[in-house]
Structure 1
Amino acid sequence: MDPNALPFDADAMLQGLRPWVECESPTFDAAAVGRMMDIAARDLALMGARIERIAGRMGFGDCIRASFPHPSREPGILVMGHLDTVHPIGTLPRLPWRRDGARCYGPGIYDMKGGNYLSLEALRQVARAGVATNLPVTVLFTSDEEVGSPSTRDLIEAEAGRHKYVLVPEPARPDGGVVTGRYAIARFNLEATGRPSHAGARLADGRSAIREMARQILAIEEMTTDDCTFSVGVIHGGQWVNCVTTTCTGEALSMAKRQEDLDRGVAAMLALRPSGNDVQFAVTRGVTRPVWEPDASGAALYEHASRIAQSLGFAIPPQSAGGGSDGNFTGAMGIATLDGLGVQGGGGHTLEEHILVDSLARRGRLMAGLLATLA
């Protein structure tokens, strides 16, 4: 099969993608994520897939697994993506769906609904061309990737373990490259505890948890080196401005290129202590993504994809990347994984999130070539 001959149409793909993008699906709103799963499940069912709804847990939304009919029972291809986004309900008025020349904007369009949708279009195009894939194909859409996949890691690893290849349509790298490895990431929960008092009448009697958290934030972020980074991205504290705050909580993130560097970073975080005897500060470990280091099976998969891309007239340079994905889990398992197969664009997680429209068809042909030729 020649992927160049497949009639991908970017404008038609945008029409199909728009309902996905306009269905806001922030991770922490399980019902909203469920509505997005409904849309994707219907599209997959119309394509002939057998749909299984997998109940969410830990307060997160459901997942869906779609299996396409195939005579073989051997390990096949898993196309894996997430349908949750970082954008809260109500983002659409500020970041509406709009086409502006070569770009199209919308919440979650780049990370990663565009890549998920082009994967479905690739499956459609292969089927319409009458091409039978060499291996069975399964699609798994999950609901909590943006918070580290705490409720779905076991599902991801179990499903990946039944497959030979994992294709992840997360966004492409800025130069159009793909991801063949990812850095290790750890999350931490922070809690500072002070002593309450009336902020007007008895200020000196209190010990502010917010003040303690502020001190700790500076200490945490100053631990950043070239080998391991630290950042605090979430803070909650206080309810009344006239009360000295008793409790302040936060969340921190650490990222490293090597597992041993992350392990040292984790140890440093867990060793943090209060700045004084009259306040408390505690760090507990959250979810962790293991380092995914390139290996022989992944290299062979990349070389296969690179040859397809070359036949289509473009290059996909391989890169290890910061920023986690569920490919961390499958790559660390030693399963041949190729990430960054999705759309090109930019502004992820911001009100400038967009895709490059012409990348829909170009990257769709690459995905179609992989689906049709992997064996």
Structure 2
Amino acid sequence: MNPLALPFDTDEMLAGLKPWIECESPTHDAAAVDRMMDMAAFALAEGATVERIPGRMGFGGSVRARFPHPDMGKKPGILIVGHMDTVHPIGTLDVLPFKREGDICYGPGIMDMKGGNYVSVEAIRQLIRAGLQTPLPVTVLFTPDEEVGTPSTRSLIEAEAARNKYVLVPEPADQDGGAVIGRYAIARFDLRTVGQPSHAGARLADGKSAIAAMARKIIEIEDMTGPDCTFSVGVIHAGQWVNCVSSTCDAEALTMAKTQEDLDRGVARMMALQGVANGVEFQVTRGVTRPVWEPNQSGTMAIFDVARSIAKEIGFDMKGRSQGGGSDGNFTGYMGIPTLDSLGVRGNGLHTLTEHIEVSSLVERAQLMAGLLMRLD
């Protein structure tokens, strides 16, 4: 049976996806992420041996599912890896409810990346129901912390990937349905300014404001952005009382580069900003890093060729590109394991209050995933 002829049903997939979207799972709420993992584990239980892996470092746990196969544990197979955490805090459903309007369906995390995860599970379930055996063993791994750089599960992903021949990542597709065959490098930094407190009303001149110093540093940091390396600050925490000159201010910064050499230079520039000026100390601590996944690796291009031929049968021309916006594919691609990313649903507005998918892409992407699982060997 041609896997592209499997009876994927748009309305049934939307109905199954809805409770996933309505189970809000922001990264820093471990209990919420675990509730989402429970739902994923239940869906995967149709035909798979499901394992719950406890979380660490304050994050939720992971789910690993292995599907029955005569070669499971004997030969490398296919790993599907996705994350169940989102950037949207609890309560986002109040302003971004699950809602369909024609070919558009809205909801927090529906594009990044619960839609792609659900489609992947549905593809496997339809293969099982049809009695089809994939040439290679299939493992699914869902993790809880990708949106903050995968600090607690990178080693788990890398260990699982090392046991497999191919890695498929159902992150959001490009709007033209294209796939990602390489990703830029990303480094995160924790920033802190340490000033001198004083009473802001009575003795303002005695203080050294950590907030004011951080504001100046943010402008300096973002002004370092160029064509080869970008710099941005996205998180700031400081102050408790408006009548106190702030003694500390904390922030988080991110830099992205197309090559490892550019990233290394960017990291060096960030670290060189440390020091004391006008009585305020500026501290920079390097955080998690996503390495460059170089495009055009032969193994990855071989998977892409298979995907492109499947896409042609479905009815669209698949393009492959290297791009920014890190994913866990950075790690597996960097390891040299053939990896194909952005196999998830089409849509727009990820990480915003307009996040949505194109409903018509659900069947398309399910067919693509089922085809890859049946044709990769």
TM-score of the superposed pair, with normalisation by structure 2: 0.98
1:345 maps to a residue whose letter is G
Structure 1 gaps, min length 5: none
Which residue in the other structure is 1:281 paired with?
Answer: 282
Which residue in the other structure is 2:319 paired with?
Answer: 317
1:291 maps to a residue whose letter is V
Which residue in the other structure is 1:367 paired with?
Answer: 369
Q: 2:109 & 2:334 partners in 1: Cα distance?
A: 26
Cα displacement (A) at 1:228? 0.2
1:247-295 deviation line (CA, Å, top 9, x unaligned): 0000000000000000000000000034624110000100000000121
1:290-345 deviation line (CA, Å, top 9, x unaligned): 00012111011101111111111112100111100000000000000000000000
Which residue in the other structure is 2:28 paired with?
Answer: 28
Cα displacement (A) at 1:4? 3.0
Which residue in the other structure is 1:51 paired with?
Answer: 50
2:20 maps to a residue whose letter is W
1:22 maps to a residue whose letter is E
Which residue in the other structure is 1:61 paired with?
Answer: 60
Q: 2:144 & 2:40 partners in 1: Cα distance?
A: 12
1:155-192 deviation line (CA, Å, top 9, x unaligned): 00000000000000000012110000000000000000
Which 10-residue stretch deviates more, 125-134 or 218-227? 125-134
Q: Quote the sequence identity (%).
A: 69
Which residue in the other structure is 1:351 paired with?
Answer: 353
Judge conservation of contact 1:212–1:275 (CA < 8 Å) in 2.
Answer: no
2:251 maps to a residue whose letter is G
Which residue in the other structure is 2:19 paired with?
Answer: 19
Judge conservation of contact 2:60–2:144 (CA < 8 Å) in 1.
Answer: yes
Judge conservation of contact 1:3–1:312 (CA < 8 Å) in 2.
Answer: no
Judge conservation of contact 1:95–1:352 (CA < 8 Å) in 2.
Answer: yes
1:325 maps to a residue whose letter is S
Cα displacement (A) at 1:241? 0.2
Q: 1:329 & 1:124 partners in 2: Cα distance?
A: 27
Judge conservation of contact 1:54–1:62 (CA < 8 Å) in 2.
Answer: yes
Q: 2:170 & 2:10 partners in 1: Cα distance?
A: 17
1:287-298 paired onto structure 2 within 5 Å:
287-294=288-295, 295-298=297-300
Q: 2:368 & 2:317 partners in 1: Cα distance?
A: 11
Judge conservation of contact 1:111–1:170 (CA < 8 Å) in 2.
Answer: yes
Which residue in the other structure is 2:260 paired with?
Answer: 259
For the residue of structure 1 that corresponds to 2:152, the secondary structure is coil
Q: 2:277 & 2:263 partners in 1: Cα distance?
A: 27
Q: 2:147 & 2:43 partners in 1: Cα distance?
A: 23
Which residue in the other structure is 1:332 paired with?
Answer: 334
Which residue in the other structure is 1:108 paired with?
Answer: 109
Q: 1:273 & 1:61 partners in 2: Cα distance?
A: 34
Which residue in the other structure is 2:239 paired with?
Answer: 238
For the residue of structure 2 that corresponds to 1:367, the secondary structure is helix
Which residue in the other structure is 1:38 paired with?
Answer: 38
1:31-64 deviation line (CA, Å, top 9, x unaligned): 000000000001111x111111111110000001
1:202-241 paired onto structure 2 within 5 Å:
202-241=203-242
1:73-100 deviation line (CA, Å, top 9, x unaligned): 2100001000000000111111001001
Q: 1:53 & 1:124 partners in 2: Cα distance?
A: 20
Q: 2:70 & 2:130 partners in 1: Cα distance?
A: 18
Which residue in the other structure is 1:141 paired with?
Answer: 142
Q: 1:10 & 1:193 partners in 2: Cα distance?
A: 55
Q: 1:6 & 1:66 partners in 2: Cα distance?
A: 22
Structure 2 gaps, min length 5: none
Which residue in the other structure is 2:75 paired with?
Answer: 74
Q: 1:185 & 1:273 partners in 2: Cα distance?
A: 20
Q: 2:42 & 2:130 partners in 1: Cα distance?
A: 22
For the residue of structure 2 that corresponds to 1:4, the secondary structure is helix
Judge conservation of contact 2:4–2:371 (CA < 8 Å) in 1.
Answer: no
Where does structure 1 differ by over 6 angstroms across 4 or more consecutive aligned residues?
none
Which 10-residue stretch deviates more, 303-312 or 200-209? 303-312
1:66 maps to a residue whose letter is A
Which residue in the other structure is 1:122 paired with?
Answer: 123
TM-score of the superposed pair, with normalisation by structure 1: 0.99
Which residue in the other structure is 2:87 paired with?
Answer: 86
Judge conservation of contact 2:4–2:370 (CA < 8 Å) in 1.
Answer: no
2:5 is the alignment partner of 1:5: yes
2:341 is the alignment partner of 1:342: no
Judge conservation of contact 2:306–2:375 (CA < 8 Å) in 1.
Answer: no
Judge conservation of contact 1:194–1:207 (CA < 8 Å) in 2.
Answer: yes
1:120 maps to a residue whose letter is V
For the residue of structure 2 that corresponds to 1:37, the secondary structure is helix
2:149 maps to a residue whose letter is G
Q: 2:302 & 2:363 partners in 1: Cα distance?
A: 24
Q: 1:308 & 1:101 partners in 2: Cα distance?
A: 27
Q: 1:43 & 1:4 partners in 2: Cα distance?
A: 22
